[in-house]
Amino acid sequence: MRNGLILGLLAGLLVASGCHKQEKLHLFAWSEYVPQEVIDGFTKETGIPVDYEVYDSNEAMLAKLAPGSAQYDVIQPSEYAVEHLIHREMLAPLDFSQIPNVANLAPDMRDLPYDPGQKYSVPYMTGTVGIVVNTETVKDPIHGFADVFQEKYRGRIVVVDDDREIVSWALSTLGVPINNMSPENLAKAKPLLKRWLPLIKVFDSNDPKRPLLGGDVDIGIIYSGDAAMLYQQDHKFQYILPTEGAHQFIDNLCVPAGSQNKAAAYAFINYILRPDVSKIISDKFPYTNPNAAARKLLSPEQLANPASYPQAGHLDVFHDIGQSAADVAALMTELRGQSD
């Protein structure tokens, strides 16, 4: 019996080393963002197996991508992370002759400021961070952050657990540019944050829908994709772009400079840009689809979802803030440490 086990192990090793010869695509992307259907479809069509590893913040992805660490073929950074990676020459320029489907992108989703001349990135999905209100329990109108953070809503608010995001709400409420996290600006934001933070009941980026659905809270400041799913479940969850200004994020597909399998990476990006494939992503994760050809395939209900396709508002994009990230973290640690 023991011999049998050893033989089995040996056979397993042989099979594993045999597999190694076959090219594999190493995808490193956000959790809950690339439908399994899409990955299976790609493998079925091209015969390239996909290894899908996930992260839950740009910072976690950047930490793993640090020089000398594991190799990936396709990553999914948000706009400011793209900027950070281009700045450090950690991305490979894309060969667009192998990605003809890039033409499907909406014109306003091409050549974006964080990647001048669009050399390194292809938008995957975009969205906003905005306010969700359970209109059954909250009767007063809510237009912006100032309406949310009121004493009467103490203990009824959920927000994404992201220090930079939360600080940017205070800055836009004060009319300060959200990408300037200088010590002076942080000092200005501090008193406001000090008043706001104790009102919040839950900080959760992974699944902020849960406390809203469970009735634990009535108001959320969350990602538009989550808000869109809430709206699909129950129209009582209304989405509002804060009047003070909302953060628009653009998540991209990029190829790290160290990728060993660029041909497969281009094939994958081209596959994602196909309208029918992009529609599957929208069905599963109702963020704003940057693919104009795919948008034509969406149902009227999907397009009418106010969280996926909000009325135009004042939108701001994040930029790489470099070392200020540590100051933001220090400020929030100090304030959140006091809040219980």
Number of residues counted as binding other proteins (CB under 8 A): 36
**d(C-alpha 227, C-alpha 144), whole Å:** 16
**d(C-alpha 308, C-alpha 15), whole Å:** 45
**d(C-alpha 180, C-alpha 172), whole Å:** 11
- 3-state class of 270 per DSSP? helix
Stretch that binds other proteins, among 20-28, 107-115, 126-134, 209-217 (CB under 8 A): 209-217
User: Per CB under 8 A, does 32 bind other proteins?
Assistant: no
Residues 43-82 that bind other proteins (CB under 8 A): 57, 59-60, 62-63, 66
Enumerate residues 6+ apart whose C-beta is below 8 A from 175.
none
Let me know if 258 is exposed, middle or buried by CB neighbors in 10 A (0-12, 13-18, 19+).
Answer: middle
* Interface pick for other proteins out of 23, 32, 53, 204 (rule CB under 8 A): 204
Q: Pairing state of beta strands 122-134 and 219-223? A: antiparallel
- With respect to other proteins, which residue has the nearer C-beta, 188 or 336? 336
Quote the tokens at residue 289: 């689809």
- With respect to other proteins, which residue has the nearer C-beta, 59 or 283? 59
The site string for other proteins over 159-178 (x = CB under 8 A, - otherwise) reads --xxxx--------------
* Interface pick for other proteins out of 113, 141, 214, 300 (rule CB under 8 A): 214
- With respect to other proteins, which residue has the nearer C-beta, 15 or 63? 63
Cβ atoms 109, 252 nearer than 8 A: no
Q: How many C-beta neighbours within 10 Å does residue 32 have?
A: 14
User: Per CB under 8 A, does 279 bind other proteins?
Assistant: no
Residues 111-170 that bind other proteins (CB under 8 A): 155, 158, 161-164
User: Per CB under 8 A, does 233 bind other proteins?
Assistant: no
| Residues at the contact surface with other proteins, assessed by CB under 8 A | 57, 59-60, 62-63, 66, 84, 155, 158, 161-164, 200-204, 211, 214-216, 322-323, 325-326, 328-330, 333-334, 336-340
